[in-house]
A and B are shown apart, each in its own frame.
Chain A
Amino acid sequence: MLVTVRLFARLREIAGRDEWPQQLPAEATVRTAWDATIREFPALAAYERSLSAAVNADYARFTTPLHDGDEVAFLPPVSGGQTDDSRRPTDARLTTAG
């Protein structure tokens, strides 16, 4: 299948690319797309634990299946969490959520 991978903010800056077409095997998930992304841009691997992902226009998990034509986006932590008395969720990571 052919999907479009998109990167935002710091991830986009590190990779030096904002989007590209990515060929993936059948049965691919968000995880498959991420693995392909860090093969191309190994410097992104360190961000895996703080990522969010989106498929098309909705948040997704690493286990979310992809389909031909999907757009999968990888997102660094959003800006808003950093407020006066903010918390940083430790139970909300892609890697631990189903």
Chain B
Amino acid sequence: MRPGWAAVTAPSSTSGGYTEIVDPAQPSAVGVAGRQEIERLAVTQTVLDVAAISASVASAATGGLTIFTGLVRDHNGGRRVRWIDYEAHVALAGTVLARIDRETIGRWPGVALAIHHRIGRVGVGEASVVIAAASAHRGDAFAACRFAIERVKQIAPVWKHEHFEDGAVWVEGATADPEDEAALQLAVQRACS
């Protein structure tokens, strides 16, 4: 439970004896009282905290919060994956995440966005990237979240070194070019489809 929050038993007028979590100061504003002061945009070696990342964008005005979590899966191309080492150009990644944030807010002005990318060794089942998009309404939250992950995949300077039982490979996709208008339009198209 978040600090400052209280668990109370539901009033007897409601059915059943369930317990609900309320914030005494702002009973209807989920996320506000427990909001943690973390960066919205980050490249980090530490385990990603989905709740804290969500809290960094949620506010009393939020009606929809979409979270995308990218996980390390146990297989790729028919081979069993043991772990992935993520490498990044950290300073450049900071610039790129800020750019993606501007691109996203430019298209969906009411959205608050958080992007956290993990680097270093990430085990199967662990999160490598978390994106949270908060908006007054769900439509913008879903679209902004999808757009942001597409752009992260296209232009964030992050590389995966996938480790199998019998070796390791670098996973390489497209050449990163933030000015590539066709790639940008593809991300918009995927977000809005």
Interface residues on B, range: 20 to 34
Instruction: Check A78 against B156 for contact (C-beta < 8 Å).
Output: yes
Interface residues on A, range: 20 to 34
9 contacts between A and B (CB under 8 A): A8-B89, A10-B172, A50-B175, A58-B95, A77-B173, A78-B154, A79-B159, A87-B183, A92-B182
The chain A residues found within 8 Å of chain B, CB to CB, are 6, 8-10, 13, 50-52, 54, 56-59, 73, 75-83, 86-89, 91-94, 97
Give Cα A79 to B169, complex, Å.
11
Q: Mark B168-193, 1 if CB is under 8 A from A, else 0.
A: 00111111111110110010000000
Q: Mark B80-111, 1 if CB is under 8 A from A, else 0.
A: 00000001010110111000000000000000
What's the dominant secondary structure at chain B's contact region?
A: mixed
Instruction: Check B157 against A80 for contact (C-beta < 8 Å).
Output: no
A86 proximity list for chain B (CB < 8 A)? 173-174
B137 interfacial by beta-carbon distance below 8 Å: no
The chain B residues found within 8 Å of chain A, CB to CB, are 87, 89, 91-92, 94-96, 152-161, 170-180, 182-183, 186
What's the dominant secondary structure at chain A's contact region?
A: loop
Q: How far is the CB of A48 from chain B (nearest CB, A)?
A: 11
The residue in chain A whose Cβ has the minimal distance to the Cβ of B182 is: A89
Instruction: Check A8 against B159 for contact (C-beta < 8 Å).
Output: yes
Q: B174 contacts which of A8, A54, A78 (Cβ < 8 Å)?
A: A78
